[in-house]
A = this chain, B = another copy of it.
Amino acid sequence: MRTRFFNARILTMEPDREIFVGEVWVVKDEIIFVGTEEEGRSYCNDHPDQILIWDREIDCKKNLLMPGFKNAHTHSAMTLMRSKADDLPLSDWLNTQIFPIEAKMTGEDIYHLSKIAILEYLSSGITAAFEMYLTPFTVADSFRDCGFRCVQTSCVNNFSQSVELLEKYYTDINGKDEFNSFILGVHAEYTCSKELLEECAKLTHKYKAPFWAHIQETESETKECIERYGMTPIEFFDSLGLFDYGGGGYHLVWTNDHDREIMKKRGLYVVTNPGSNLKLASGIAPIKEYLEAGIPVAIGTDGPASNNCLDMFREMFLVTGLAKVKNMDASSVDAKEVLKMATVNGAKAMGLNDCDVLAPGKKADIIMLDLMRPNMQPINNIEKNIVYSGSKENVIMTMIGGVIRYENGKFNIGEDIDAIYAKAEEIKARLYS
């Protein structure tokens, strides 16, 4: 498949490159050209051997092409519990509403339920997800069948999965297909014994691999770890050598200066999840402090039961808005920095180094945003306006690996959406009976 996008505003997300009007050319799953129309003509003159016959030429009508958003933390199949139990204290929510249902979910259920989340990612311009859930193999199948890019880590803990399984996921999912990869990780400090974590540290050393977990999401989790080990979870994980090859943490709402020193030293990433942190009353992450410490931040929606939507626009606004109110400073955490978090930093955190920007040789994970919707008018500062005013209504196209999976409200993931919804209702009827 060869696709030519023309007459587009283009935001490549390369450092210091301003938005310009031009073209993006895609051959198979790769971008082969990004530039002005004139540069396009030069390219053709310079490559007389390449005969470019397009399968499709898309007039972007001055709308914006940019790299797809990277949802750097989610639990996709929790669509089942979306809005099933809200406005509850966290412990009630987990113990009475989430865990009992999860105990009944099968790998096949998770395969089907993940697809609803994938649809929503596409509608929000998200082209890759950093996923953690119960059955990594069926999750991988679901994402592969939809043609959606997925990086997984495991939720191994004292009660489910195991270090043996973790290693099997790592060796079997990596390289399995073009859409899936796997990174070492566990659920969280508070659900894992020291012995389990020590075994994990052996794996990170064996594979010289980064390590991820939910870390310091709540104040109580952080305090309890200090009571248990005299260290915060970041300090404790680091003391076990888990971060010797980098990695990062999801949430990281409650960190201190020493945590941030370790994070900087180990090259860790923060994945912030502001919507979830509000809804579950976890707190407001110290984003400004991370930026000042030189720690890269990426953005995740968290799962649909704890957010409840999978909308990168809402998360982007929250990252900057919450930083501003936390610091009581309207200049805190610039919107352009937030756009980098949602694209480039997410890609790097997830190890998707060829999905970060629009440039020749990079994967064709591209979205088109409609600038003619009223929320984008008049056109003053497109980048800031995406963060402050952008919405799912602006996403008119989502392409992953050169294939358009979403266009003008219609999905193309190999299965009819009504069938996906019907399957979810079936599962709901069974699990909630």
- Please give the residue numbers on chain A whose beta carbons come within 8 Å of chain B beta carbons, in ascending order: 79-84, 86-90, 93, 116-117, 119-120, 123, 275, 277-284, 304, 307-311, 314, 317, 320-322, 324-325, 327-335, 372-375, 377-382, 384-385, 388-393, 409, 417, 421, 424-425, 428
In contact, B332 and A281 (Cβ under 8 angstroms): yes
In contact, A84 and B380 (Cβ under 8 angstroms): yes
Determine the residue in chain B with the shortest Cβ distance to A304.
B389
Cβ–Cβ < 8 Å partners of A331 in chain B = 87-89
In contact, A381 and B325 (Cβ under 8 angstroms): no
In contact, B277 and A335 (Cβ under 8 angstroms): no
In contact, A330 and B88 (Cβ under 8 angstroms): yes
Cβ–Cβ < 8 Å partners of A393 in chain B = 123, 391-393, 409
From A90, A277, A392, residue with most partner B Cβ within 10 Å: A392
With contacts A89-B330, A308-B385, A329-B89 taken as known, whether A123 is within 8 angstroms of B374 at the C-beta atoms is yes
List 18 additional contacts besides A309-B375, A378-B424; criterion CB under 8 Å.
Answer: A87-B335, A90-B330, A120-B374, A123-B373, A277-B325, A278-B322, A278-B325, A279-B320, A279-B330, A280-B330, A281-B325, A281-B330, A308-B384, A309-B391, A311-B391, A314-B391, A377-B421, A392-B393
From A87, A332, A333, residue with most partner B Cβ within 10 Å: A87
* Residue in B88, B116, B373 whose CB lies within 8 Å of A374: B116
* Residue in B311, B333, B378 whose CB lies within 8 Å of A425: B378
The complex places the Cα of A307 from the Cα of B385 at a distance, in Å, of 10
Cβ–Cβ < 8 Å partners of A389 in chain B = 82-83, 304, 307-309, 311
Q: How far is the CB of A91 from chain B (nearest CB, A)?
A: 9
Determine the residue in chain B with the shortest Cβ distance to A330.
B281
The complex places the Cα of A61 from the Cα of B319 at a distance, in Å, of 37
In contact, B120 and A381 (Cβ under 8 angstroms): no
Q: How far is the CB of A81 from chain B (nearest CB, A)?
A: 8
The complex places the Cα of A123 from the Cα of B120 at a distance, in Å, of 19
With contacts A275-B317, A325-B284 taken as known, whether A82 is within 8 angstroms of B385 at the C-beta atoms is yes
Q: How far is the CB of A78 from chain B (nearest CB, A)?
A: 11
How many copies are assembled?
2
In contact, A380 and B82 (Cβ under 8 angstroms): yes
Cβ–Cβ < 8 Å partners of A375 in chain B = 120, 123, 309-311, 392
* Residue in B81, B281, B424 whose CB lies within 8 Å of A324: B281
Cβ–Cβ < 8 Å partners of A384 in chain B = 83, 86-87, 308
Determine the residue in chain B with the shortest Cβ distance to A432.
B380
Cβ–Cβ < 8 Å partners of A317 in chain B = 275, 314
The complex places the Cα of A311 from the Cα of B307 at a distance, in Å, of 18
From A88, A90, A324, A372, residue with most partner B Cβ within 10 Å: A324
The complex places the Cα of A327 from the Cα of B89 at a distance, in Å, of 12
Q: How far is the CB of A282 from chain B (nearest CB, A)?
A: 8
Q: How far is the CB of A352 from chain B (nearest CB, A)?
A: 23
From A89, A90, A325, A409, residue with most partner B Cβ within 10 Å: A325
Cβ–Cβ < 8 Å partners of A309 in chain B = 375, 388-391
In contact, B89 and A378 (Cβ under 8 angstroms): no
Q: How far is the CB of A347 from chain B (nearest CB, A)?
A: 23
In contact, B281 and A378 (Cβ under 8 angstroms): no
In contact, B321 and A275 (Cβ under 8 angstroms): yes
With contacts A79-B377, A283-B328 taken as known, whether A278 is within 8 angstroms of B321 at the C-beta atoms is yes
In contact, B322 and A84 (Cβ under 8 angstroms): no
The complex places the Cα of A389 from the Cα of B81 at a distance, in Å, of 13
In contact, B83 and A281 (Cβ under 8 angstroms): no
The complex places the Cα of A334 from the Cα of B279 at a distance, in Å, of 11
Cβ–Cβ < 8 Å partners of A119 in chain B = 374, 377
From A327, A372, A385, residue with most partner B Cβ within 10 Å: A385
Cβ–Cβ < 8 Å partners of A424 in chain B = 377-378
* Residue in B84, B329, B373, B382 whose CB lies within 8 Å of A381: B84
The complex places the Cα of A304 from the Cα of B373 at a distance, in Å, of 14
The complex places the Cα of A409 from the Cα of B307 at a distance, in Å, of 26
The complex places the Cα of A330 from the Cα of B305 at a distance, in Å, of 13
From A82, A117, A277, A327, residue with most partner B Cβ within 10 Å: A82
